[in-house]
Amino acid sequence: MDIVRNADGTLVVPVQHERPDVTENNTDISSNAAETAATRTDALLSTRVLHPGEGGYDEALAEWDLQQNPGREPVISTATGREQAMTLVHAIATSPDHAVASAIETLQDPKASGEALRFVLIGGVHSVEAFATEVAEAKGGDPIPAHQMTKIIGEVLAKLDE
């Protein structure tokens, strides 16, 4: 099952529960073994909705991004791409209407900016926090909270992949 990114930034991720050990004392007795196996499998597989800021969200978002283009070359961040990415997320975060599409239109090199943001995302929560601090130092203001930064990165990457 693939990870699904909702319009509000939440991610629906598959969750594999551990299968309980089967012993003689706790085995199911069923006349239909195939039905029992299917029921156990269904019980073991489920989904969970992750919100920006929740544990595991950054990793799931990086995995979702990889799913969008599994043949993508390894991510490389350039100085120009990183600078544009910082300007982009700052503009989106401070925009009253949170206009992702119009902010992306101002980029000179959208691909380089996307690669820089992917590079941040792959680094996990500490990388996102460090990037938020770097944006605040370069553009002014307080650092964007990591959960908000991750959500903005997800929105930008989704828009760039359209």
Amino acid at 63: E
- Which of these ranges, 10-24, 69-83, 143-157, has the smallest mean pLDDT? 10-24
How many contiguous H segments (helices) and E segments (strands) does the chain have? 7, 3
Q: State the pLDDT at residue 8.
A: 82
Cβ atoms of 57 and 153 within 8 Å: the answer is no
Q: Bigger pLDDT: 80 or 72?
A: 80
Q: State the pLDDT at residue 72.
A: 74
Model confidence, pTM: 0.65
Q: At what angle do helices 146-160 and 125-139 cross, to 10 degrees?
A: 90
Please, which residues bridge with residue 4 across strands? Answer: 12
Please give the helix or strand (H or E) that residue 43 lies within, else none. helix 33-44
Cβ atoms of 141 and 101 within 8 Å: the answer is no
122 half-sphere exposure, CB direction, 13 A CA radius: 12
Structure tokens at 89: 């997320």
Q: State the pLDDT at residue 99.
A: 82
Please, which residues bridge with residue 45 across strands? Answer: 16
